[in-house]
Amino acid sequence: MVRLLVTGGCGFIGSNFIRWLLADDPNVTVVNFDKLTYAGNPENLASVFESDRYEFRQGDISDRDSVDEVLKEFSIDSIVNFAAESHVDRSILDSTPFVHTNIGGTQVLVDSARTNGIDRFVQVSTDEVYGSLGDTGEFSEDTPLAPNSPYAASKTAADLLVRAAVHTHGFPGMITRCSNNYGPYQFPEKLIPLFISNALQHQPLPVYGDGTNVRDWIHVDDHCRGIAAVLRSGEPGDIFNFGGRSELSNIGLTRRLLELLDRPETLIRFVPDRPGHDKRYAIDCSRAEKMLGWKPLVSFEEGLKSTVDWYLQNSEWVDRVRSGAYREYYEKQYGDRLAGE
């Protein structure tokens, strides 16, 4: 029986991974270690609360004593690290929490994992560590790291700490880097859930710049399968990219969402661009396809429709997470931009 610690498991990708893994693998027990910051929602895991293979502990990956305690209490042998401050716009407003959690927290996890004899460690990262592309080309695992936002810089530093531990100490660390995720239970600061919830309330959809920035989109289930494949089959020092082979401009995505929701394009509001906004991301995931036998299974058309349907069917969940701290952030991030249109 694998005894797995999942950090940040109450967030969007982490909670989807836990639900997916418990359903897929009867030989794993999961301990979810989450600080429960604004985007951490235990409700995301209501379906597994009663499982005898699931435990939850609230804690901060930057707190060495708490990390040591949970590793020892449950005799953990593997770790998947999702815990991170993860929104570019927030990192531009204040990068301090990103440095604290994404860099300092990762180092604490690595040090504790080494001390406690962890067998496997997966660092979940992002394609944003590679920087920005022009009109052509794709990021491979060998693309030089060139982060352009405070968020991306913090994730790059975390990746390099894991890499250094592998090469210096023989640490059993592996790194995954993924393109933009979408799917159920995503906190509504991110583009797809934000635009769905705004459109349903006939509120403006704030599109940065001219909307021509391009992203590659991957359904969260496909990402979860990739992480699980690395956890099971990866070797220390391995790096794997995961993408959906679904490039789309932000304005193109916005129009698709409005079409699915039967809302007019008059809701689109072009607002001043994000500082340092990366132009294009595209992922070459051929290494994962060849070495892990992985490939994306959910088409973007199918995945986007099912995601919209999920938000339509779970409006109460959306209403609950759009309260409090989220409202304060939304006003700070978009209030002046929308007022100045």
The first and second tokens of residue 150, run together, are 């405070």
Q: Which residues lie below 8 Å from residue 319, measured CB to CB, with a gap of 6+?
A: none
> In 11-131, which residue ranges form alpha helices assigned H by DSSP?
12-24, 64-73, 88-93, 96-98, 106-115
The reply to whether 127 belongs to the active site is yes
Residue with tokens 């391995």: 238
Residue 58 parent element (H or E): strand 54-58
The reply to whether 328 belongs to the active site is no
DSSP SS3 for 328: helix
Catalytic site residue from 60, 85, 128, 222: 128
Catalytic site residue from 54, 130, 138, 151: 151
d(CA 297, CA 292): 14
Catalytic site residue from 60, 85, 127, 247: 127
Which residues does residue 174 pair with via DSSP β-bridges, in sequence order?
122
Residue 30 near residue 54, CB atoms below 8 Å? yes
Residue 225 parent element (H or E): helix 220-233
DSSP character string of 227-250: HHHHHHH--TT-EEEE--S-EEEH
Catalytic residues, by residue number, are 127-128, 151
